[in-house]
Amino acid sequence: MARDAEIRLREKLAKLGGVSLLRGTKVSGEVERLQRQLERLRAETTDEDIWRSVELARHEDRPYTPDYVERILEDWFELHGDRGRADDAALVTGLGKLAGRTVALIGHQKGRDIKERTERNFGMAYPEGYGKAMRVMELADRHGFPVVTLVDTPGAYPGVAAEQHGQGGAIARSQAVMARLGVPTVACIIGEGGSGGAVAIALADRVLMQENAIYSVISPEGCAAILWRDASQARKAAAAFKPDAVHCLELGVIDGIVPEPPGGAHADPDGAARLLGEALALALDDVAGIPPDELRRRRRAKFRAMGVLA
Amino acid sequence: MSSSRIDVSIEHKNAPASPDGKAHPNTCPGCGSHYRDDELEASLRVCPQCGHHFPVHARERIAQLADEGSFAEEAAELRSADPLDFFDLRPYAERLVEAEAATGLGDAMVIGRAAIEGLPCELAVMDFSFMGGSMGSVTGEKFARACESAVEAGLPIVSVSASGGARMQEGILALMQLPKTVCAVEDLRDAGCALISVMAHPTTGGLLASFASLGDVLIAEPGALMSFAGPRVVAQTTREKLPDDFGRAEQNLRFGHLDAVVPRPELRATLGRLLRLFAKA
């Protein structure tokens, strides 16, 4: 399995090597970092590395969706509301230009200070948030705009009203809409990819993860509380279910890892944004020009193959 | 099965608790009535006194719904691998072996071709007693194969879910069974095949957030818990007092997330009617 991941990284390196010739020196930094990743992969990810990812993914200074939007997109115009009931601030949606083309962007937003965090509900969306996301995806589909999603949520909000408004169904339908889109889609986990609330907007042609992001079926604390009956065993739980980017790549869940500046994305938001913008544009190039039916077929086939059988 | 275990023919309050202190599985949590296993089987595992719906194993459910002798199982040979070498208090591999020994099933779902009231369909039935009905790679694979089998034959599919959600022991791969089953449903829709989703107690977490919510028709059994987050998690996170019927089928019907709550004795006839309605002329 580690070998597969290594091959995939090598392929990507080869591809990037070629691209750097065409586009000057811009991506050479990424090549270097991918090579570093390759070395790390060979060195085997340790439990400490995994926990470091968990901490960095949740770092309070980590760049969020709006930090990337303002650095990566031009002519950004935010779209508000689900056209039914509410505007969920935990999910940001809008239109902007990424490397010259109009894209629809959908991303979680946790909020920076305590006031904003309360407004944004710590990035935990209600069904209305997924309703807004679906509306914007359909808008993009009508106009042929690629869809870019940035995933950063502890999970969909577990509350009485959220359940009454149909949280489970909203997450299911949001995935269904993504499975049906005829436009290219790229998702990137930029922090916490927490369970259903994350995958709701991550059924994409290309799924990327930032180097220090995590993507998991449950939070380490939640897993520890259920399986170890002790939430303080979170570190042990994380080591067991391996939510880090390298393991997700190994398991075939993601298509690539987006490097971060040394020390993590929060140490150099501009550098992190540049690397993310390049990776998103490359991923979109990768799936551009494929006819809608073929694009859908390939997207579904990719997810159809996920899982390991005995 | 255990017909000689407790020799009472009518309900019996305060039945003996099992050694671990839990109520006997044949004691009704609704009214305390106690039944022999054959009595419960005859009543479709619905309490004759208060209407409580006991859990139903996958094979018994299939026997309840499908025409006699019509069921032909598919993909019975599939077994889970342990891609993460997962170890909590016990190894995942050990839990799998134990679950199979206890239930006689290879995973938490049984699929196959059947007929209901003479109408052919594909069945995908979950079993809560196999690791809480949790959805892992095999569960998702079986559902996807059931969809493909339905598409190939141009038949509708009836799913019966009973699951706590994604199987944590398979980590991120368990989460990926959500998009996998969603993609299978989308292929089903493209082929014009209907999905009738029956939600038994409980249908929560990743199940509610994937194929179970995507049926053309959504049905639940009375009292079935259908919530994305469990009541305990919601209560802990929000410190709100939960309504008595929080996440229950009846509440979901009121809020518009369900087409019908159908008591088990009427389920077979209801499915028969729906299959007639969806049958291609």
Phi, psi of B194 (to 5 degrees): -85, 150
B170: helix, strand or coil: helix
Query: For the domain that residue A238 is a member of, what is the CATH number?
Result: 3.90.226.10
Q: Determine contact: B137 vs chain A, CB below 8 A.
A: yes
Q: Are strands B119-126 and B157-163 parallel, antiparallel or unpaired?
A: parallel
Residues B49 and B59 in one domain: no
Q: Is residue A291 assigned to a domain?
A: no
- Neighbouring C-beta atoms of residue A20, cutoff 10 Å: 16
Query: For the domain that residue B260 is a member of, what is the CATH number?
Result: 3.90.226.10
Q: What is the DSSP letter of B106?
A: S
Residues B48 and B76 in one domain: no
Contact state of B227 with A163 under an 8 Å Cβ cutoff: yes
Q: Which residues on B lie below 8 Å from A216 (Cβ)?
A: 171-172, 175
The helix (run of H) or strand (run of E) holding residue B39 is helix B37-42
Contact state of B172 with A1 under an 8 Å Cβ cutoff: no
Q: Determine contact: A219 vs chain B, CB below 8 A.
A: no
B151: helix, strand or coil: helix
ipTM of the complex: 0.92
Residues B122 and B157 in one domain: yes
The nearest alpha carbon in chain B to A236 belongs to B88
CB nearest to B84's CB, from A200, A226, A241: A241
Residues B33 and B152 in one domain: no
A258 Cβ neighbours under 8 A, 6+ residues apart = A188, A208, A209, A210, A211, A275, A276, A279
Q: What is the DSSP letter of B46?
A: B
End residue of a domain, out of B37, B54, B71? B54
Local confidence pLDDT in tens for the 310 residues of chain A = 455 666 666 666 555 544 433 333 344 556 666 676 666 665 678 888 899 999 999 999 999 999 999 999 999 999 999 999 999 999 999 999 999 999 999 999 999 999 999 999 999 999 999 999 999 999 999 999 999 999 999 999 999 999 999 999 999 999 999 999 999 999 999 999 999 999 999 999 999 999 999 999 998 988 888 888 887 889 999 999 999 999 999 999 999 999 999 999 999 999 999 999 999 999 999 999 999 999 999 999 999 999 999 8
pLDDT reported for residue A294 = 98
Cα B181 from Cα A300, distance rounded (Å): 10
Q: Which residues on B lie below 8 Å from A244 (Cβ)?
A: none
Task: Say if CB A254 and CB A245 are below 8 A apart.
Answer: yes
Residues B27 and B119 in one domain: no
Residues B119 and B179 in one domain: yes
Q: What is the DSSP letter of B233?
A: H
Q: Is residue A149 assigned to a domain?
A: yes
pLDDT reported for residue A23 = 34
Task: Say if CB A281 and CB A98 are below 8 A apart.
Answer: yes
pLDDT reported for residue A33 = 66
Q: Determine contact: A200 vs chain B, CB below 8 A.
A: yes
Q: Is residue A236 assigned to a domain?
A: yes
Give the number of domains in chain B: 2
Phi, psi of A277 (to 5 degrees): -60, -45
Q: Is residue A24 assigned to a domain?
A: no
pLDDT by residue (tens digit) across A5-22? Answer: 666 666 665 555 444 333
End-to-end CA distance of chain B: 43
Composition of chain B by helix, strand, coil, percent to 5: 35, 20, 45
**Which range marks the domain in which residue B119 is found?**
55-278
Cα A204 from Cα A146, distance rounded (Å): 11
B217: helix, strand or coil: strand
Q: Determine contact: B68 vs chain A, CB below 8 A.
A: no
- Neighbouring C-beta atoms of residue B11, cutoff 10 Å: 18
Interface of B with A in 37-56 (CB under 8 A): none
**Which range marks the domain in which residue A206 is found?**
45-275
- Neighbouring C-beta atoms of residue A59, cutoff 10 Å: 14
Residues B208 and B245 in one domain: yes
Minimal CA separation from A263 to chain B, in Å: 25
What is the distance of C-alpha B69 from the center of its chain? 21
Residues B107 and B235 in one domain: yes
Average pLDDT for consecutive 10-residue bins of chain B (281 residues)?
45 55 87 94 96 97 98 97 89 95 97 98 98 97 98 98 96 97 98 98 97 98 96 85 92 97 98 95 67
Q: Determine contact: B178 vs chain A, CB below 8 A.
A: yes
Task: Supply B248's token pair.
Answer: 């229950």
A287, amino acid identity: V
End residue of a domain, out of B54, B71, B94? B54
The helix (run of H) or strand (run of E) holding residue B121 is strand B119-126
B68, amino acid identity: E
Q: Is residue A114 assigned to a domain?
A: yes
Sort A275 into a burial class: Cβ within 10 Å, 0-12 / 13-18 / 19+.
buried
Residues B92 and B41 in one domain: no
Q: Is residue A3 assigned to a domain?
A: no
Residues B98 and B166 in one domain: yes
pLDDT by residue (tens digit) across A120-161? Answer: 999 999 999 999 999 999 999 999 999 999 999 999 999 999
Q: Which residues on A lie below 8 Å from B211 (Cβ)?
A: 172
Q: Determine contact: A162 vs chain B, CB below 8 A.
A: yes
Q: Percent of chain A having pLDDT more than 90?
A: 77
Give pTM, 2 decimals: 0.90
B236: helix, strand or coil: helix
CB nearest to A253's CB, from B88, B172, B255: B172
Q: Which residues on B lie below 8 Å from A164 (Cβ)?
A: 251, 255
pLDDT reported for residue B237 = 82
The helix (run of H) or strand (run of E) holding residue B187 is helix B177-190
pLDDT reported for residue B143 = 98
User: What DSSP line would sit under chain A, residue for residue?
Assistant: -HHHHHHHHHHHHHHHHHHHHHSTTTTHHHHHHHHHHHHHHHT---HHHHHHHHHHHT-TTS--HHHHHHHH-EEEEEE---SSS---TTEEEEEEEETTEEEEEEEE---SSHHHHHHTGGG---HHHHHHHHHHHHHHHHHT--EEEEEEES-S---HHHHHTTHHHHHHHHHHHHHH--S-EEEEEEEEEEHHHHHTT---SEEEEETT-EEESS-HHHHIIIIIS-GGGHHHHHHHH--BHHHHHHTTS-SEEE---TT-GGG-HHHHHHHHHHHHHHHHHHHTT--HHHHHHHHHHHHHT-S-B-
Task: Say if CB A79 and CB A134 are below 8 A apart.
Answer: no
Cα A18 from Cα A9, distance rounded (Å): 14
- Neighbouring C-beta atoms of residue B236, cutoff 10 Å: 12
Q: Is residue A126 assigned to a domain?
A: yes
Residues B13 and B118 in one domain: no
Give the number of domains in chain A: 1
